[in-house]
Amino acid sequence: MKILVAGAGGFIGGHLVSRLKADGHKLTCVDIKPLEYWFQIFDDNQNFSLDLKEFENCKKILKDGIEYVFNMACNMGGMGFIENNKAECMLSVLINTNLLRASLQKKVKKYLFSSSACVYNQDKQKNSFIDGLKEIDSYPALPEDGYGWEKLFSERMCNHFYEDFGLNVRIIRYHNVYGPFGTFDGGREKAPAALCRKVINAKLNNIKEIEVWGDGEQTRSFMYINDCIEGTLKIFESNYNKVLNLGSSEQVSINELLNKIEKISNYNFKRNYDLNKPKGVRGRSSDNTLLKDVIGWEPRTSLDDGIKKTYEWIAEEIKTKRNLKKFSKY
């Protein structure tokens, strides 16, 4: 198949490109970042650095013959980024709007939009451990300000392009994706990567405490990247064109996540809780009832297995950079 992956230079986008390439598809890849900043890049794909908020760029990249679009592109990061960059997050609505318009013009056969669990009503996420959120729990609307509103609006835009114009859409709500080849520092990283980095650096530098945002009792479910890609392709290949959750139902507190990382690292430390840092909603987890009904599958990688692989990858990255910095003096 001839496929466009928007946001190909990002974390999920890079893993998706890797899988689609391995499956033998012909790929056009685009991201706003310069090529040297893409998380994964494959030279035998067509790779472009373009701002898809511009309609002309969307038309340019959707060359004649492209049949399928995976829209993974948006300006986002962990809670530290989302809470402090609301306008920047909301501007991503232009990417989805203009890609939809261009896809309609170019007669694209199928269009997938990557949404987020940040669309869910915050009033339903006030307790630490909650029942999994069902797709219907996004209404009445009260999503995360900025990023959540952009995703919810873009979901509706996809629905209306299907209803009004017949564009074949797929809409996926991702729940906290983590794994290797992702951001682990710089301000956009999410909790699993950030906590792995903090513990690794503490161990390397013999530091006996780490900073934790919030009181550690806020909960999430975390989905390993391999499950994310597998579920994405299963949903894409299905006949279901309404919103679907894609996330793990294994809900844990940040403290429980830290316990797992502490065990993996074989390093004991004190937790310094900062209640003034961004921490998001109190509790969130995915209800996978509809997902299992539609595709007969749900994420299967345990947090123990996934976080171990993630920790080991980040540790190797940090040690490599540390060694390069040390030997660059000579």
- The residues carrying an active-site annotation are 147
Tally Cβ neighbours within 10 Å of residue 84.
13
Nearest CA among 31, 29, 70 for reference residue 47:
29
Token couple for 46: 């067509």
Distance spanning both ends of the chain, measured CA to CA: 49
Q: Give buried/exposed letters for 121-131 (b at 16+ CB in 10 A, else e).
A: bbebbeeeebe
Residues contacting 187, CB < 8 A, separation 6+: 77, 80, 81
Task: State phi, psi for 181 to the nearest 5 degrees.
Answer: 65, 40
Q: H helices then E strands: how many in the chain? A: 11, 13
Of 67, 73, 47, whose CA–CA distance to 109 is shortest? 67
**Preceding amide of 34 cis, omega within 30:** no
Token pair, residue 24, equals 């033998």
Distances (CA, A) of 22 to 68, 228, 252: 17, 16, 33
- C-alpha 58, offset from chain centre: 22
Could you identify the residue written with the tokens 């012909």? 26
